[in-house]
Amino acid sequence: MSNREPSQYEQVQHIFRELVGGEPAVTIRAPGVVQLLGDELVASDSWLLGGTIEPSVWLAAAPTADHRVTIHALNRGETAAFQLPHLELFASSVGGNWINYPMGAAWALQKAGQPLVGLDVVLVSDLPQGVGLGSSAAVVLAFVRAWEALAGFALDPLSRAHLAHKTESEYVGVLADLTTPFLAAASRANQLTLLDGRTFTHQLLPFPPNVSLLLVDSGERELTAVLRERDRECGVATAVLRQHLPHIQTLRDVPPDELELLGHHLTDTLRRRATHVVGECARVQEAATDLRTGDVAALGRLLRQSHLSLRDNYEASNPALDLLAATAWATPGCLGARLGSNGFLQVLVADESVTQVIAQLNEVFVGEYGRTPPSLVTKFTDGAGSVSVSDML
């Protein structure tokens, strides 16, 4: 594990002893999520390739004799509490609504018939919020895993993901998909998860331990509305193609040769949208093969192809991301780069070249935009679960 993780583990343990007293009964780590390929195709039930990263939500907890849940949120400098089983939404005027996520986790577990216990909790995070790395899903999964450990039940990754999705979409009332919490629940260290977005079956694929993931924040956040419009356009393209291919449910079911034959029935815009989706489905499958054979260079080429298609066919990039991507591709040690969620560029970098790649990206970006883009270097790690002292060694 990284140097950051033991310090977070030690911090949450130490603060628990100070604020609550005694030793925590369980310590949970719930990581952030990245999706390397296919993340924009959720509405098409496509395949995607992703994993969990080092920045995480950390939770130390112990059961209480009553049904009160008390949470010390260190990043916010706030303490909040609620009583089981009565779970009313907190209004945003009462110190913000962050408490709705753990309350929602309790609500969803109760709806699923799981037993709960009161908790004393210390919560701390080094996972950036609001930038598409799954911070809210991580909070929910941290509490789900804590209640599993302390209330004596066990769930599978898909059940955990459904609970997190239910919490966000039904209790908190925000737009959420199932893929992010599933990856957060199912992923493993030094592996990527190949997820079938229709069946939610998955495979774990080996990822080279000497390659790092560099996340570079372009600062652009306007792509969410663009992707919603692309989902709508893909639905229209599917309806047109279904007149000729009645068996298809989404564009994922359209083979490349059939799109080539039938593409003239689509407008130029819809044809380009469909070209990206059909091509991305193929790229995800090719990437899985490359990972199985250890061909990280081929995986990197697929990331570049994906970015170019997102730029030209899907029109879902922007000049800042395109500049970062082109710079990364031209820098020795970069194995591949593609735009990610919410304005991040995702770069695969040989470990020995990380410093040079960051320096080159910073130099070019400062020259164009006058500021240094925030960046984060990470490895692919285990999904949400309990952590012990031995894990830190």
Question: Average pLDDT of the chain?
Answer: 92
List pLDDT tens digits, range 103-150.
999 999 999 999 999 999 999 999 988 788 899 999 999 999 999 999
pLDDT of 149-196, one tens digit each? Answer: 999 999 999 999 999 999 999 998 888 889 999 999 999 999 999 999
Angle at 391 between CA 335 and CA 19, to 5 degrees: 115
pLDDT for 216 beyond 50: yes
DSSP string, 37-79: ESGGGGGGT-EEEEEEEEEEEEEEEEE-SSSEEEEEETTTTEE
- Is residue 42 within 8 A of residue 251, CB to CB? The reply is no
- Do residues 346 and 306 make contact, with C-beta atoms less than 8 angstroms apart? no
Higher pLDDT, 100 or 337: 337
CA distance 385 to 145: 6
Given a cut of 90, whether residue 206 has pLDDT beyond it is yes
* Residue 157, preceding peptide bond in cis (omega within 30° of 0): no
For the stretch 263-322, pLDDT in tens is 999 999 999 999 999 999 999 999 999 999 999 999 999 999 999 999 999 999 999 999
Distance CA 256, CA 259 (A): 5
pLDDT at 1: 40
Per DSSP, 341 falls in state G
Alpha-carbon span 9 to 125, nearest angstrom: 10
pLDDT above 80: residue 5: no
Q: Which residue has the tokens 């699923």?
A: 112
Yes or no: say if 138 and 32 are a contact pair by the CB < 8 Å rule. Answer: yes
* pLDDT higher than threshold 60 for residue 2: no
Torsion angle, CA of 301/134/53/333, rounded to 10 degrees?
30
Say what the pTM is.
0.92
User: Which structural domains are found in the chain, ordered by start?
Assistant: 4-206+383-392 (3.30.230.10), 214-380 (3.30.70.890)
Sheet containing 334-339: order of strands: 334-339, 344-350, 211-217, 375-378
* Band (33; pLDDT cuts 50, 70, 90): very high
